[in-house]
Copies of this chain bind each other. A is one copy, B any other.
Amino acid sequence: MEQKSTDLVNKFTPLFKPRSVAFLGASKDIRKWGFITLKNMVAGGFPGKIYPVNPREEEILGLRVYKSVSVIPENPDLAVIVVPPPNVVQVVKDCIGKGIKAGIVITAGFAELGEQGRKLQDEMVAAAREGGMILVGPNCNGIMNPWEKIHIQFPPFFPPAGNIAVVAQSGNVVDVLARQIILRGFGCSICVSSGNEADLHVEDYIEYLGEDPNTRVILSYVEGFKDGDRFFRVVREVSRKKPVIMLKAGKTSAGAKAAMSHTASIAGSDAVFAAICRQTGVIRAGNLDEQLDIGVAFLRQPLPKGRGVGIVTAGGGWGVLAADACAEEGLELVTLPAETIAELDSFLPAWWNRGNPVDLVAGAFGEAIFKAVELILRCPLVDAAVVTSIMPALGSEWLTATAAVEDRGRWESNLVQAVVNVIDRFNKLADQYQKPVIAASELMFGDAGMEAKIIKAMGKSNAACYHMPHQAAGVLGALARYSEYIR
């Protein structure tokens, strides 16, 4: 086991932690991937040496350009390959000759185009495997490892170093998830656009990420499997250590057909994939938003020990929607015992509903909210709390929102901090009672810019507040199912 881990880490080190990188097909044309990807790599601040290769150029982006890989003055760890399809096989052989151990083939035009492309792809893989070189792609967007300032990527944005890994058979899905991670204030460990997966498959990356100490949660987008059996064995093992949250495309025949033409993937039966998820602990997400909602929850929340839920709501309608959504997730709304009701009675307004959801009916503010949540968590029947609308927990500060226009800047940063503090207190209660506390709240400041700042500030401490009750319920359902798998 120990040796297997070491081998795995050694195999992937040239790819994810290269000391130097050859860039084959570097270009000066700002519309070409050979320029855009190189520019982003430079902009990303890679601290090692970059060796652009192009027989017709002298200098690109201030970097000296080499005529061929053979004349590079050292043996780089990694090759980025953006040359036209007919040249790829020779370039891979050249890299092997130079002792390069890993390659990222960004070039498209292989198996996704049909039989001829598939032959070329097979030839490339045969050459790589014979020479002991691992390959990402082809037909991919690259990789990121912000911990090492590696940004071999198409879009010009750079997630901070963090704990969320992304592996996707689609470059644009990697981009979307990475950008959402940035916007929500979280960070990435490693991101891989795996393309056609001619050599390395999604399960190879997941296996490595299982060993990667920076990765705490794995998000994966998959259109099809090259080796279903191995995928099954790998994710079953990795799932025990870290949650794997997967979005599977090609559910319908229309989607499956699109997947074939996108990455030459055979989508397979959706029922089979559902069964795989149940047996391996893989958490299935319905769409990209849901995938990220669930993923970030694992960074901060303890796992629930059962399905009992208590809801504390500051809005009646939200309470009803949260109750519905929890029930639809297979969670159970606990009937609060008389003791808990009596304790809540001691400080909630006389007209509160004495049930679950605990509806604060605009009658409780500040400390009363935290007290209500704590009482719910203390109840032995409750395994998790959902809080809908955190606004009253802010106390009087938000009520005076419109009064502070003359000092907007200070008021804004105070408010951002106040909201972060509210969520932090909920999360500390979650830690104390080892029961998740999932909050959903419209952040009613009438200003999307403020809301964006608040969400980002929360993410910096791995915390989240969801937008709508159905999101909170969906997240809690996923935590509960994963917790059952682990137990």
Contacts and interface: CB of A to CB of B under 8 A. Distances in A.
Nearest to A314: B172
Contacts of A156: 401-402, 446
Interface stretch (A236-244, A247-255, A274-282, A367-375): A247-255
A434 interface: no
A320 interface: yes
Contacts of A30: 399
B448 A183 contact: yes
Interface stretch (A53-61, A128-136, A174-182): A174-182
Contacts of A448: 183, 448-449, 452, 455-456
A161 interface: no
B170 A315 contact: yes
Given A43-B402, A323-B257, A324-B251, A318 B172 contact: yes
A158 to B, nearest CB: 8
Given A157-B444, A172-B389, A442-B176, A258 B31 contact: no
Interface string A286-311: 11110000000000000000000000
Contacts of A468: 287-289
B317 A252 contact: no
A261 interface: yes
Nearest to A141: B362
A113 interface: yes
A156 B402 CA distance: 7
A268 interface: no
Contacts of A325: 287
A99 interface: no
Interface stretch (A7-15, A202-210, A326-334): A326-334
A359 interface: yes
A396 B325 CA distance: 44
A397 B326 CA distance: 45
A486 interface: no
> Size band of the A side of the interface?
35 or more
Nearest to A448: B452
A249 B449 contact: no
Copies assembled: 2
Interface stretch (A89-97, A226-234, A349-357, A414-422): A349-357
B108 A361 contact: yes
B442 A249 contact: no
Nearest to A334: B254
Interface string A445-487: 0101100100110000000000111100000000000000000
Given A179-B444, A258-B323, A261-B359, A172 B449 contact: no
A38 interface: no
B314 A113 contact: no
B321 A249 contact: yes
A316 B262 contact: yes
A289 B325 CA distance: 14
A262 B320 contact: yes
Contacts of A320: 170, 223, 249-250, 255, 258-259, 262
A305 to B, nearest CB: 20
B254 A324 contact: yes
Contacts of A33: 362
A262 B354 CA distance: 11
A317 B169 contact: yes
Contacts of A355: 257-258, 261
Give the residue among A156, A396, A468 with the most B Cβ atoms within 10 A: A156
Nearest to A253: B327
A122 B431 CA distance: 48
A349 to B, nearest CB: 10
A173 B289 contact: no
Contacts of A223: 317, 320
A366 B156 CA distance: 19
Interface in A71-114: 108-109, 112-113
A263 interface: yes
A259 B179 CA distance: 38
5 shortest A-B CB distances, which residue pairs?
Answer: A170-B317, A172-B315, A255-B324, A448-B452, A252-B327
18 contacts: A36-B399, A112-B353, A157-B446, A170-B317, A173-B318, A179-B444, A179-B446, A183-B446, A251-B324, A254-B323, A254-B332, A255-B320, A261-B353, A262-B319, A288-B321, A448-B449, A448-B455, A449-B449
